[in-house]
Amino acid sequence: MSGDLVVPDAAHGVVVFAHGSGSSRLSPRNRYVAGALNKAGLGTLLFDLLTPEEEADRANVFDIALLAERLLERTRWLREQQDAAGLPIGYFGASTGAAAALWAAAEPDNPVSAIVSRGGRPDLAGPRLAAVRAPTLLIVGGRDPIVVKLNEEAQERLRAESRITVVPGATHLFEEPGALETVAEHARNWFTTHFRGRA
């Protein structure tokens, strides 16, 4: 599966992106956020969670356990890369990718240090939410009431540090002027606050 790894000089962490259903590593929204993180001195890894053949089966797109396993595989791979060795790792998940990020983060040996969800479906991580140890930021659009409610319900099941940030006037895809910039700013602040330099 294809991926794009960018690690700026003197990076103080790397964020792995987990895109949502119907999207890919080429998602313009995720690439925008990744660019903002790169400018802030954070590395980023965007990769496809499924092969083109697997994506043809819509059941795979919503197989959170499968998506989480792919995310774990890439996390293990990332830790072996010279440019990223020893750096704190974060997850940025969108839509179903947020559920995969939380599912993967619940693994006992997962080193993830922080998680950000954009318009995510953390509720799909189900009973594994309580096992997540990484501080988690849930960003939702103010004009996406169903997802706001699902995020609030999921937060009640999280035992780790967590916060819900509502972007006023934003819909599910954060396409409104300034909405995605706000997402990138919140994500940057969350990761830089919770990354503590090289392990």
Q: Is the pLDDT of residue 199 over 70?
A: no
Report CA-CA distances (Å) from 146 to 9, 123, 153, 155, 171.
41, 12, 11, 14, 11
CATH of the domain at 187: 3.40.50.1820
* Residue 23 covered by a domain: yes
Query: Tens of pLDDT along 105-134?
Result: 999 999 999 999 999 999 999 989 999 999
Taking CB atoms within 8 Å and a gap of at least 24, the contacts of 110-113 are: 110/72, 110/75, 111/75, 111/79, 111/199, 112/75, 113/13, 113/88, 113/89, 113/194, 113/195, 113/196
* Residue 27 covered by a domain: yes
The pLDDT of residue 29 is 86
Domain that holds residue 184: 3-194
* Residue 199 covered by a domain: no
* Residue 58 covered by a domain: yes
The pLDDT of residue 85 is 87
Of 1-15, 53-67, 70-84, give the range with the top mean pLDDT. 70-84
pTM of the model: 0.93
What total of structural domains would you count in the chain? 1
Query: Tens of pLDDT along 49-64?
Result: 887 777 777 777 789 9
- Which has more pLDDT, 3 or 150? 150
* Residue 59 covered by a domain: yes
**Cα–Cα–Cα angle for 179, 174, 98, rounded to 5 degrees:** 115
pLDDT confidence of 24, banded at 50, 70, 90? low
